[in-house]
């Protein structure tokens, strides 16, 4: 398994986020785009990123890739409250020890992420997730954090290195 751009959220953050999503759902935003919710969920992701040219510079350092994201009509939309609720519910479920414990213990896992990815809490969330996998009994867990890399590590300025590392890891495991 290769997990890319992952992180870990505290129960407090997840609970608060779910509560806010439920309020937005009750206010009629369950299935319609919610810019306010987008700002709450993703608005701080550019904090600590430099330079900031767009709302999505946290995605990666490659300006062309960010521009392609902005130009794609399937990207950059504000999520509905229902989508955000379901995403946070899934994260909460995935982080439970009893669910992590159900994984095949010998299954190799590689976490790849940028150490400047706000989704992964600048690497801290990635390490926390990997530690949770190990605590659940996973026997082969590896982490590769790329210096300066942001969220879309597969589109980063060092993507050739990332893809080579993935290939090397797969060939080691096959």
pLDDT for the residue numbered 141:
98
Between CA 96 and CA 146, with CA 45 as vertex, the angle to 5 degrees is 75
Q: How far apart are CA 154 and CA 2, in angstroms?
A: 12
**Given pLDDT bands bounded at 50, 70 and 90, which one contains residue 22?**
very high
H helix runs in 72-158, sequence order:
81-94, 97-100, 124-135
Query: What confidence tens digit (pLDDT) does each residue in 67-120 have?
Result: 999 999 999 889 999 999 999 999 999 999 999 999 999 999 999 999 999 999
What does pLDDT average to over the chain? 95
Contact between 76 and 70 (Cβ < 8 Å): yes
What mean pLDDT is predicted for residues 141-153?
97
Predicted pLDDT at 148: 97
DSSP helix, strand, coil percent of the chain (3-state; round to 5): 50, 10, 40
Tokens 């954090």 label which residue? 145
Return the pLDDT at 114.
97
Q: What is the DSSP string of 65-97?
A: HHHHHHH-TTSSPPPBHHHHHHHHHHHHHHT-H
Provide the pLDDT for residue 24. 94
The pLDDT-based confidence of 17 (bands split at 50, 70, 90) is very high
Predicted TM-score (pTM) of the model is 0.91
pLDDT at 94: 94
């Amino acid at each position: 398994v290769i997990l890319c751009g992952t992180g870990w959220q505290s129960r407090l953050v997840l609970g608060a986020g779910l509560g806010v999503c439920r309020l937005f759902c009750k206010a009629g935003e369950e299935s319609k785009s919610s810019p306010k919710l987008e700002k709450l969920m993703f608005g701080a992701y550019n904090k600590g990123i430099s330079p900031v040219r767009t709302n999505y510079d946290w995605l990666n350092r490659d300006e062309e890739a960010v521009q392609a994201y902005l130009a794609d009509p399937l990207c950059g939309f504000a999520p509905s409250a229902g989508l955000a609720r379901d995403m946070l519910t899934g994260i909460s479920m995935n982080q439970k020890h009893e669910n992590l414990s159900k994984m095949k213990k010998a299954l190799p896992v590689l976490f790849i992420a940028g150490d400047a990815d706000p989704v992964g809490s600048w690497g801290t969330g990635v390490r926390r997730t990997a530690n949770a996998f190990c605590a659940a009994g996973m026997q082969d867990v590896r982490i590769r954090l790329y210096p300066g890399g942001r969220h879309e590590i597969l589109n980063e300025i060092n993507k050739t290195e990332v893809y080579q590392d993935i290939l090397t890891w797969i060939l080691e495991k096959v």
